[in-house]
Amino acid sequence: MTTSGITRTDFFSLCNPMLDIGLYRIKDIVLNEPQKENFAKYIENSLKQQIKFDWLGIFKVFLIKKFNLPLSHRATPAELIYSNKFELISYA
């Protein structure tokens, strides 16, 4: 996940001294094989949906959170990172 959204990339393309990279893992969860497969499918579906940041989406998330509106929205990359469900494994 980057600030522009969820994308597929290889680590070599991230070898740039101008980039900060964090490797996160889901906290306190040990997945069995079927759960790992389901998680991989979820990631593939997220890539197909091409979830990106956009100003309208950010405003919608603000309204939902500020006024407790019953609107649905996709989780943004920032929401996923700040959800406290991940632990930082490594940073470069």
Amino acid at 75: A
Q: Which residues contact 92 (CB under 8 A, 6 or more apart)?
A: 20, 21
The pTM assigned to this predicted structure is 0.48
> Measured in whole angstroms, how far is the alpha carbon of residue 46 from the centre of its chain?
9
Q: Which of 6, 2, 5, 26 is nearest to 14 (CA)?
A: 2
Query: What pLDDT, on a 0 to 100 scale, did the predictor assign at position 80?
Result: 66
Q: The tokens of 79 are what? A: 């929401």
Helices H / strands E in the chain, number of each: 3, 2
* pLDDT tens per residue across span 25-64: 878 888 899 998 998 898 888 788 776 666 777 787 788 8
Pairwise CA distance, residues 3 & 10, whole Å? 17
Residues 84-90 have a mean pLDDT of 82
